[in-house]
Amino acid sequence: MISKPKFKIGRRLGAGVYDKCQTAKFSASSGKFAGPNARRPKALTEYGAQLIEKQKIRFSYGITERQLSNYVKKASLVKGSGTAEKFYENLESRLDNIVYRMGLTNSRRAARQMVSHGHFIVNNHKVTIPSYEVKVGDVIKIREGSKTKKIFDNLIDRLKEYNCPAWLSFDASKMEGKMLAKPKNVETFLDLNAVLEFYSR
């Protein structure tokens, strides 16, 4: 798990890296570094831009360099324009990300903890590995013994205003969800092709 000062990373890579950085507090703190006397940043080289995109993905999903490299290698087995799409599918299909996308918690970091602590069952088997790959048709349930935990208090009320991605569903009354289809990339914050080019060097 990556643990570094989020605001510092957010200023360097962009607010989209962490949910915590998408606040008025972050915007105000970032403004301190953008005054009239602030030094103009140097223009990035192609390599530098690709490196930043790689770091955005690492910190957004909370994965290690080795994990990211493995996801790229797996996606690279798909030739042509489908490589970036497969890369995105690999990242989004992680169990911790699925829990986050279903709205069960407000950050991927919290989702990783919840998975590691054994609060979820996938297809009737308890899974404690955050990087576990969820497939289309898989059913994710909150473990019976975890339903009364404080982290799931007022879950139905919390999910009323949350819009789950179209490729996922979650029934708060049953405390279970399902992966309906492969993830579709709607993120404009991440440049997946730049990362693929970085690793192809």
Q: For residue range 36-94, what is the model confidence (pLDDT) as tens digits?
A: 555 555 677 989 989 999 999 999 999 999 999 999 999 999 877 789 999 999 999 99
pLDDT, average across residues 1-30: 52
Look at the pTM and tell me if it is higher than 0.85: no
Instruction: Quote the percentage of the chain above a pLDDT of 70.
Output: 77
All domains of the chain in start order, with CATH: 6-85+189-199 (1.10.1050.10), 94-179 (3.10.290.10)
The values of phi and psi at residue 104, to 5°, are: -80, -10
At residue 23, the pLDDT reads 47
At residue 26, the pLDDT reads 44
pLDDT, average across residues 8-32: 52
Residue 192 has pLDDT above 80, yes or no: yes
pLDDT in tens, 148-169: 999 999 999 999 989 999 999 9
| Long-range contacts, 193-196 (Cβ 8 Å, 24+) | 193/84, 194/49, 194/50, 194/53, 194/54, 195/50, 195/53, 195/54, 195/57, 195/68, 195/72, 195/87, 196/72, 196/75, 196/76, 196/83, 196/84, 196/87
Alpha helical stretches, state H, the chain: 6-13, 24-31, 46-61, 65-76, 82-92, 95-101, 108-116, 155-159, 192-199
- Ranges of beta strands (E only) in 123-201 are 125-126, 139-142, 168-171, 176-179
pLDDT higher at 80 or 170: 170
